[in-house]
């Protein structure tokens, strides 16, 4: 059973990377949500899980990942998330500053909210509070991918982003399937 779950997680990682543009073809964005609905084991709510996963992937996150990797945000991504994150203040070295003054911290917070947007409704459909909240791990996955690229691969470019899609797909699938 454990081996089957590991294969499902690997398939989920592949399908999320496919969704992200590994091979661009019509319907590539349907496969990962369909897969999540299948592996959830919730036959009665199959359609709800599929719709939640499909709609959840539609909103952007490119600005957030770019900021997480150190590029100052140049455009708005999801207005509701931007409004929340732009209003956040942190205390740093005795002074209060807006989170937006630190692109990586801003990107981390925004990507956590973006991941939460995706996982929350899937978790509702699955009936799992853990799945509902697992989206906050999205920035951790992308930071781990950046670390892997910087320390081991040293390829640069979009390599970390692509690796992040693999890792986030594996993590999200694990939460839904387990």
On the 0-12 / 13-18 / 19+ scale of CB atoms within 10 A, 169 is buried
Q: pTM of the predicted model, to two decimals? A: 0.91
User: Residue 74: is its pLDDT beyond 90?
Assistant: no
Helix (H) or strand (E) holding 176: helix 159-177
For residue range 116-163, list pLDDT tens digits in order: 999 999 999 999 999 999 999 999 999 999 999 988 888 877 889 999
Which whole-number Å values give the CA distances from 54 to 16, 41, 155, in the listed order? 11, 17, 31
Domain boundaries, the chain: 2-177
Give CA 136 to chain center in angstroms.
8
In angstroms, how far is CA 13 from the centroid of its own chain? 12
Percent of the chain clearing pLDDT 70 (strictly above): 100
Q: What is the DSSP letter of 102?
A: S
Q: What is the pLDDT of residues 84-114, one digit of tens each?
A: 999 999 887 889 999 888 999 999 999 999 9
What is the reported pLDDT for 67?
Answer: 94
């Amino acid at each position: 059973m454990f081996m089957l779950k590991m294969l499902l997680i690997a398939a989920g990682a592949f399908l999320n990377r496919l969704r992200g543009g590994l091979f661009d073809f019509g319907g590539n964005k349907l496969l990962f949500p369909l897969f999540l609905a299948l592996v959830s084991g919730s036959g009665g709510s199959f359609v709800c899980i599929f719709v939640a996963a499909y709609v959840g992937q539609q909103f952007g996150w490119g600005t957030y990942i770019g900021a997480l990797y150190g590029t100052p945000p140049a455009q708005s991504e999801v207005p509701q998330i931007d409004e929340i994150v732009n209003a956040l203040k942190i205390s740093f070295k005795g002074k209060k500053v807006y989170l937006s003054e630190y692109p990586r911290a801003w990107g981390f917070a925004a990507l956590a909210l973006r991941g939460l947007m995706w996982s929350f409704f899937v978790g509702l459909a699955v009936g799992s509070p853990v799945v509902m909240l697992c989206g906050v791990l999205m920035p951790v996955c992308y930071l781990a991918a950046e670390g892997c690229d910087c320390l081991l691969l040293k390829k640069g470019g979009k390599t970390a982003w692509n690796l992040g899609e693999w890792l986030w797909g594996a993590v999200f699938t694990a939460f839904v399937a387990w």
